[in-house]
Structure 1
Amino acid sequence: MTTPRRPAVFIHGLWLHATSWSPWLDLFREAGYEPVAPGWPDEPATVEEARQNPDLVANVGIDDATEHYAKIIAELGTDAVLIGHSFGGLITEKLLGQGVGAAGVAIDPAQIKGVLPLPLAQLRAALPALGNPANLHKAISLTRKEFRFGFGNALTDEESDLLHERWTIPSPARPLFQAAAANFVLHSQAKVDTDNSTRGPLLLISGTADHTVPDVVTRSTLKQYRDSTAVTELRQFEGRGHSLTVDSGWREVGEAVLEWLKAHGV
């Protein structure tokens, strides 16, 4: 009898379409997993459709996306591995803290409640959305220049522009406002149960050149788990920016994730 493959659920963050995970799906399928990369609530199936219909995702918040993925994972019928990037990383942390999933990998995860560092580069990267309070209920797109600063700063202009053209979509600004105000809101949607000691293992990954989620932010996130006895580890990739899941060096990160999962029996 064939042993069922363990599901691996990939959760993208803002400004990248779900199909940007395509190379990762191939890698994980070859490694014996059953990978899926569902979009956020109401996200169209293609980059082009998403660009043509930005209002479909406008006003989606952190809890909306988290509940959306929790339902998808429940339908898989077994404990899945959760892998998220940016706000997908925050969602991965929330789900794992709720006891959902066998293990989680949060790559350049968005800032959770309790994390205090707010570097200038991070503020600048978030300005396209946070710069105008009226954006709260809108879906916002990044220009090539804005993408270059927030995602592609460690790349050549040519590679950054290529990634912008291939994968970027309008994304809801609401999660950025929620994360920015998290430490001033009692029941913030950016709150994660970091004290849970019965959850599966968690790997945090940071790129040391990341502008959108600087390394100091991810290191501060790690400290939030100090009261949990569950496995929580950090892996840093030198000189890598926020694009590390989609740029030409993505495989190095993907293979490191597979090695970590194998080491922890998932």
Structure 2
Amino acid sequence: LLINEFEHTLFGLKNDDCVWGPVHGSVGQEAVAAGAIAALRKTDKVLATHRSHHHFLAKTLHYMLPKGWNPTQDELPQTVADAVKKTMAEIMGLALGWCGGHGGSMHLRNAEAGFLGSNAIVGGGIPISIGAAYTEKFKKTGDIVVCFFGDGAVNQGSFHEALNLASLWKLPIIFLLENNLYAVGTNVEQASAIKELGIRASSYGMDGHIVDGNDPIVVLNVVRQASEGVRKGEGPCLIEAKCYRRHHHAGDQPGSAYGYRTLEEEKTWCEKEAAGCF
């Protein structure tokens, strides 16, 4: 819910010309980041995409929240509120931000919290995650890496090269594919010969899972279970989380306003969003 409110506030600031550059919102996809990162250790590492406000906030807050904190009973610590403000400042290009305002919306980073960076290049974070995972294996830390990317990245060469190498070296990494059905305005069925992208895991000899990305509890349980084997050195895995990007590629207008999807489709998916169901 915090991520959802954050994104809507950000859209308002963008419409008031307070944010430079595009704003790639994560409304509709919050449950994937919240569920997956809740299953991790504070010391685990995360890499993400150009659409990564939800990943960044989830990882940063997961790192900062005290052990045993209960969202239904406890107030939000002031340090966490300050972190949210600092994230907004970074996206707005202000010096108060995590990177002094230099990273902006698409190049967020909080190394202390284990968020190694988001990347404006489609699929650009995938090969970087291989290096991060190799580092954890080499140092024998017991920590793992989670690399988030979208359906638009699965046809990039870096995706196939990275999964092959990760499986070959049994790297401690979870590849988490957020399938929101659209790469800008291109439906995934127009770009992929198979509908279930998660089965691509079998091509590289790794476990694959397909989950409901609108249910944070399901995502949490699958990531938690998968991470156990990954930590033991059993090799990486690929998880496809099916979700939906409520708005257009960037900004707060619906995709239907651009003609590539219908109002009926948007209504059906919006009724499934975690922010309205939990």
| TM-score of Structure 1 vs Structure 2, range by shorter chain | 0.3 to 0.5
**Larger-Rg structure:** 2
Q: TM-score, normalised by structure 2?
A: 0.35
Q: TM-score, normalised by structure 1?
A: 0.37
